[in-house]
């Protein structure tokens, strides 16, 4: 009986830890609450600074950010760009970094009818999620900040 309770406790801590990690999670895997105000998230996630070069790489990576699956972007070396979402050329001229951040973390806050996933929504709000993403965000806080840093440079 004790073994069953211990096993349940371990499983619960693995599946319901902030980003699905038990024990000491790396800083970038820890879920940080964020607040939207006036269609923006002013504070960087977890106080992290983004890197535009990592953000550009992430935007083109079909196994990570995969922005190109839905958006046209100024990444000419990639042959295929999506047309489902709006083009992201000059997005840094149209939106502030805080406005871009909200669109990445949870576009439904801006457009409730969007098909764009919330890449950093609170994992407790998720349902019908693939097992690999249960209790996790799709992107880490660091990845979101890297994307924000890159997209904000697109003027």
> What tens digit of pLDDT does each residue of 135-144 get?
889 999 999 9
Q: How confident is the model at residue 25 (pLDDT cuts 50, 70, 90)?
A: very low
Please indicate, yes or no, if residue 6 is contained in any of the structural domains: no
Reported pTM: 0.79
In a domain, 133, yes or no: yes
Cα–Cα separations (whole angstroms), residue 135 to 47, 91, 94, 144, 145: 22, 31, 33, 17, 20
Q: Kindly provide the b/e burial profile for residues 134-155, where b requires at least 16 CB atoms within 10 angstroms of the residue's own CB.
A: ebbbbbbbbbbbbbbbbbbebe
Range of the domain at 105: 26-153
pLDDT 10s digits, 47-87: 999 999 999 999 999 998 899 999 999 999 999 999 999 99
CATH code at position 78: 1.10.760.10
Is residue 82, in this structure, part of any structural domain at all?
yes
Domains in the chain, number: 1
Task: Answer yes or no: is 33 within a domain.
Answer: yes
Asked whether residue 19 is assigned to any structural domain, the reply reads no
Judged against a pLDDT cut of 70, whether residue 6 lies above it is answered with no
Write the DSSP symbol of residue 86.
P
Q: Does residue 18 form part of some domain?
A: no
């Amino acid at each position: 009986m004790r073994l069953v309770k211990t096993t349940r406790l371990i499983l619960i801590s693995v599946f319901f830890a902030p980003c699905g990690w038990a024990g000491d999670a790396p800083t970038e895997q820890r879920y940080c609450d964020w607040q939207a105000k006036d269609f923006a998230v002013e504070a960087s996630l977890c106080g992290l600074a983004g890197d535009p070069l990592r953000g550009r790489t992430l935007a083109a990576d079909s196994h990570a950010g995969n922005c190109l699956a839905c958006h046209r972007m100024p990444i000419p070396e990639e042959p295929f760009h999506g047309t489902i979402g709006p083009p992201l050329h000059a997005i840094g001229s149209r939106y502030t970094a805080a406005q871009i951040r909200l669109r990445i973390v949870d576009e439904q806050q801006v457009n409730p009818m969007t098909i764009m996933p919330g890449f950093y929504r609170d994992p407790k709000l998720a349902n019908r999620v693939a097992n690999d993403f249960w209790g996790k965000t799709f992107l880490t806080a660091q990845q979101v900040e890297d994307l924000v840093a890159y997209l904000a440079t697109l003027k």
